[in-house]
Structure formats: structure tokens, C-alpha cells
A and B are shown apart, each in its own frame.
Chain A
Amino acid sequence: MTDDEFENFLRHAARDYNEPPATPHDAMWARIETARREKSSSAPLHIASPRRWLMLGSAIAAMLLVGIAIGYVWRGTTDSRLVAERPGGAADSAQPLHVAAESGQPGIPDSGTSSRESAPRTPGEQRLAAVPPDTRVDARDLSGSARRPVPNAAGVAAGNQSAAYATLTAEHLGRVEMLLTSYRAESERGEVDPQITSWAGDLLGTTRLLLDSPGASDARMRKLLGDLEIVLTQITQLGAEQGTKKDELQLIDQSLRSHDVMTRIRGVTPAGAGALPIGT
């Protein structure tokens, strides 16, 4: 018996050794997918895929925009308060007359106001135009007619502030509505994607900024934002814990239902959400 003969025999006979059946492709793939889904739902959020980077970038950009806009609204409020507190009214409104008087052309109107408002019409106004700039505020107080632009400037500032706040709030509520819709679809399956909890965290920050903004004077809106803050906090908390607990999902659903959050959001947000301002 040579080695070659034995090897030939071995190769032939060993084919039957633990001979495998047909590969159960589908059954194994289903188990692999389940195991991977379980792992990904319990694992902390990894920002790896381009889609996640895009989402994170969009969220940061949205946060920055909201922050800048709120800052703008805040500055507008502060300016209009200073104008209202200053005796004699707004410096901006006096500017056209001042410039006109300095240039020696009292009849030239400012581009932002009508010629009827800026041009000296009465003898008193004509005299005012001739008054030196340093003493003009007092003179306008005395004349009475020059005080007219002051309430207009405050009104314009307040209007701008209100419109900007309403726009931002409507956009924000649109995003929250999208999030809650996605969340409800996920929670029905008994698990919530980590991206949802991360998104809720971003929206929670914006909600708090809007709540703290001086523009949030509407009691109904404040109440809605307060309720959203609670719900978003609960959803964000899901991401901080290992695995998704059924009790917590039920608690969030209960909060959504008891506060009637979705209906209230839709009540204050125009159709198409996100892009359209409310109250305009």
C-alpha cells in the first residue's frame, strides 16, 4: 500500500465526512439581520455614513440659523425698548430732517418716508428745520408734529420681531411634527432608531431657545412649546439608555395623547409646515 493509494482512498472516503445539507440561506440571513438590528439599536450612535453626516450637518445649520434669528429678534426688542425709553423718540426717525437741515435742503424727502412727512409744511416745521441739530430734539418735542414717526418705528420693530418669531416657530413646529410622525411609526414596531433620538435632541435645543426667547409671549404657544419640551426630552432619553423599553415608549405615547400634541401642532402650523410662517 503506497502513500498515493492511501491518499486517493482518503480523498474519496472523506467526502462523506460530516457531509453538509443544502445551505439554509434565508433562515441564516434572517437571523443575521435580526442580530445586527438588535446590536445597532442597543449600540450608541455612530456618525459614520454620509447620510448621518448630512443629517448632523443639516441639524447644526438649522440650529445656527435659529440661533442667529433669535439673536436678531432679541436685538430688535432691545433696540425698540431703548427707543421707547428715550425721551423725544427715535433717533432714526429724526435722521432725515437732520441730514436735510445740514445739507441746507429742507425740502428733500428721505427715501424711507413720504415727502408729506419729512418736508416742513407749517411755519413751525420750517422754523424747526432752521434750528441747529444739537437742540433739535427739544424743538421737536415742542412742535409735537415730529413725534409722529416714533410710534411707527417701534411698531415696525415689533411687527418684524413678531413675524420673525412666528416664522421660526412655524418652521420648528413643522420639523417637530415630522419627527413625531417618524417616531410614532418606529415606536409601533417597538423600537426607535438612534437617529430619531439624536434628531429629538437637536429639536429639544431649539424648543428651549424658542421658549426662552422674548418673542414667546403668546400663552398658547408657550404651553405648546412646554409640552413639546417634555415629549422631546423623553424621546432623547431613549437614546441614552441601553435598549428600548416598552414602558418608556408607552409613557411617551401617553404624553403625546394626553396633551393632544399632534393636533395642537397642526392647529398652529399651516399646511406644508416648516416653510410657511404663521400669523402672517
Chain B
Amino acid sequence: MYDAHVDRVYRLAYRLAGSDDLAQDFTQDTFIRAFERLKEFRGDASFATWLHSIAVSVSLNGLRKVKRLRTREAGLEDADAHEWKQRRAEPDLRIRLAQAIDALPPGYRTVFVMHDVEGFTHEEIAGALGLQPGTSKAQLSRARARLRTALADFRGEWTA
């Protein structure tokens, strides 16, 4: 089970967390929970979907905790100033894109990362997040719209 699924779980955790330490922690927690709850898996969905739902849940909860911790450590004003400086100092499109993805609401970001970055289908995303496939599609569409707005000043580059 571990060998068959660890790559995809780790990749997803890393894409969501952006840090090797956090991704390893999330992957580890995902498999520990999966081993503990193996009896609860009834085969309604595919095993991979069930495992990915645990992975997403563990990662999002973990990120929420990390964010809370970081917010407590640094004041909100400092964070804004830091973000502004970065944006001004690094006008590169890829960095701006990464920042724009980071700034998406967690639901949009998760769907966007799973679909456009990691190549999950809407059915897989819906199974993992407990949504309808239509909801997944709608959230992806909104996420893309937000990114398009955020990257408006780079319009010339993506048409090139």
C-alpha cells in the first residue's frame, strides 16, 4: 500500500505545503491514519481516492495550524509589508503566479493544485474532498478567474 501510493501522496502534500519537512510530516500522518482506519474503508470509492481524502484533510489541517502559528509569531502588518516588498522586488511571472496561487482561498487552491498542477480528474477531486464533480469544476473556474486578475499586468507574456 505504501509503495504504491506514497509518491502521489507526497507530491500532493508538497504542492500544498511548499516545504519538504511539512510534506514529509503530512505524508507520514496520512499513512499512519490510513493504517489505523483501514477497517473503516468499505470500498465505496477507490482506495486511492480514500487515501487522497485523508492526505488532503491532513495537509489542510496541518497548514491551518502552521499559518496560525506564523501569524502569532509575526504581526499581520509585517507580513503584508514583506509580501509587498517581495512582489516589487521579484516581478518574475512564475514568482507572481506562485504568490497568486498561495493567495487563493484554501478550497480554490486545493482544487486548482489537484487539477491543474497534479492532474487529478474532477471525479477524483470530488471523491477526495467530498464534493460533487460540478462543484469541483466551479471552484476551478473561480480559481482561474482570480489568477487571471492577479496576473493581468503580465498579459503580454502568456500570449507570447
Binding site for B on A (CB under 8 A): 1, 3, 5-7, 9-11, 13-18, 20-21, 23-25, 27-29, 31-32, 35-36, 39
- B135, chain A: closest CB distance, angstroms: 19
Bound-complex Cα distance A35 to B94 (A): 38
What interface size band does chain B fall in? 20 to 34
Complex partner residue of A1 from B6, B7, B23, B159, CB under 8 angstroms:
B159
- B52, chain A: closest CB distance, angstroms: 15
Residues in B whose Cβ lies below 8 Å from that of A18: 14-18, 98, 117
Judging by beta carbons under 8 Å apart, are B15 and A20 in contact? yes
**Chain B, 2-21, contact with A by CB distance < 8 Å: what is the 0/1 string?**
11001100110011111010
Interface centre among A11, A16, A20, A27 (most CB of B within 10 A): A20
Judging by beta carbons under 8 Å apart, are B10 and A23 in contact? yes
Judging by beta carbons under 8 Å apart, are A29 and B155 in contact? no
A-B contact count (CB 8 A): 80
Bound-complex Cα distance A82 to B18 (A): 86
Bound-complex Cα distance A18 to B19 (A): 8
Bound-complex Cα distance A32 to B112 (A): 29
**B35 in the interface (beta carbon within 8 A):** yes
Considering the complex, give the chain B residue whose CB is closest to the CB of A30: B28
- B61, chain A: closest CB distance, angstroms: 17
**B138 in the interface (beta carbon within 8 A):** no
Residues in A whose Cβ lies below 8 Å from that of B3: 25
Judging by beta carbons under 8 Å apart, are A35 and B6 in contact? no
Bound-complex Cα distance A27 to B31 (A): 13
Judging by beta carbons under 8 Å apart, are B147 and A10 in contact? yes
Judging by beta carbons under 8 Å apart, are B117 and A28 in contact? no
Bound-complex Cα distance A165 to B63 (A): 66
Residues in A whose Cβ lies below 8 Å from that of B7: 23
- A18, chain B: closest CB distance, angstroms: 4
* A28-B94 CB under 8 A given contacts A17-B15, A20-B15, A36-B32: no
Judging by beta carbons under 8 Å apart, are B97 and A17 in contact? yes
Judging by beta carbons under 8 Å apart, are B116 and A20 in contact? no
Residues in A whose Cβ lies below 8 Å from that of B20: 21, 24
**B110 in the interface (beta carbon within 8 A):** no
Considering the complex, give the chain B residue whose CB is closest to the CB of A48: B39
Judging by beta carbons under 8 Å apart, are A20 and B93 in contact? no
**B121 in the interface (beta carbon within 8 A):** no
Residues in A whose Cβ lies below 8 Å from that of B159: 1, 5
Considering the complex, give the chain A residue whose CB is closest to the CB of B9: A23
Bound-complex Cα distance A23 to B6 (A): 8
Complex partner residue of A10 from B14, B35, B116, CB under 8 angstroms:
B116
Residues in A whose Cβ lies below 8 Å from that of B148: 6
Judging by beta carbons under 8 Å apart, are B32 and A35 in contact? yes
Considering the complex, give the chain B residue whose CB is closest to the CB of A34: B28
Judging by beta carbons under 8 Å apart, are A1 and B158 in contact? yes
- B115, chain A: closest CB distance, angstroms: 9
**Chain B, 130-160, contact with A by CB distance < 8 Å: what is the 0/1 string?**
0000000000000010011000000100110
Residues in A whose Cβ lies below 8 Å from that of B24: 24, 27-28, 31
Bound-complex Cα distance A274 to B78 (A): 74
Residues in A whose Cβ lies below 8 Å from that of B35: 32, 36
**B60 in the interface (beta carbon within 8 A):** no
Considering the complex, give the chain B residue whose CB is closest to the CB of A8: B158
**B54 in the interface (beta carbon within 8 A):** no
A-B contact pairs, 5 of them (CB 8 A): A3-B144, A6-B158, A7-B116, A10-B97, A17-B15
- A84, chain B: closest CB distance, angstroms: 61
Residues in A whose Cβ lies below 8 Å from that of B125: none
Complex partner residue of B11 from A1, A5, A20, A36, CB under 8 angstroms:
A20
Judging by beta carbons under 8 Å apart, are B2 and A29 in contact? yes
- A10, chain B: closest CB distance, angstroms: 6
Residues in B whose Cβ lies below 8 Å from that of A27: 24
- A37, chain B: closest CB distance, angstroms: 11
**B129 in the interface (beta carbon within 8 A):** no
**B101 in the interface (beta carbon within 8 A):** yes
**B53 in the interface (beta carbon within 8 A):** no
Residues in B whose Cβ lies below 8 Å from that of A7: 116, 144
